[in-house]
Amino acid sequence: MLIELTDQPIHVAAVLDAVQADGAGAVNSFIGTIRNRSTGRRVVRLHYEAYDQMAVHQLRKVAEQAMERWPMLQKVAVVHRKGTLEIGDVAVVVAVSTPHRAESFAACQYIIDTLKEVVPIWKKEEYEDGTVWVAAHP
């Protein structure tokens, strides 16, 4: 299991390599990148802040929950970036390997969905005329 929170650019191919296994025919991966628009506003860049030790702990818990729920999961990798990111930069990569493909999609989607709910990472979007902490207010 590869769990990482990093302030360096994420090397996607290395994350995919980390879940390769001879018994795993299926690898599903999700890559989250920085979009140039959010709720109609033009995004200039993004700032990610994390509660590092809790974020890594919670990322690991999410991955472990996925492995309990889909015991056929072979390997899981989750790498999340923090710091300042530009448009097109990779913010997160989730990759899982399984013997059969349906479970690879379900497990990968579970991990990214749950990550977005529980892992203490926050992003502040920077526009040309200001900044907003995403999802902070109703």
Partner 1 sequence: MKLSIALFGITREIVGQPQLELTVPEGQSVQQLLAGLQQTYPALGELRSLAVAVNNEYAQPDAPLHERDEIALIPPVSGG
Enter the DSSP assignment of 119. Answer: S
51 binds partner 1 (CB under 8 A): yes
Positions in the binding site for a copy of itself (CB under 8 A): 12-13, 16, 20, 22-37, 87-88, 99, 101-102, 104-105, 108-109, 112
Enter the DSSP assignment of 65. Answer: H
Counting residues that bind partner 1 (by CB under 8 A) gives 31
31 binds partner 1 (CB under 8 A): no
- Of 13 and 136, the one with the shorter C-beta distance to a copy of itself is 13
DSSP strand E in the chain: where?
2-6, 26-33, 37-38, 41-50, 75-81, 83-86, 90-98, 121-127, 130-133
How many residues are given for the chain? 138
Residues found near partner 1 in the complex (CB under 8 A): 32, 48-51, 53-55, 57-58, 80, 91-92, 101, 112, 115-124, 133-138
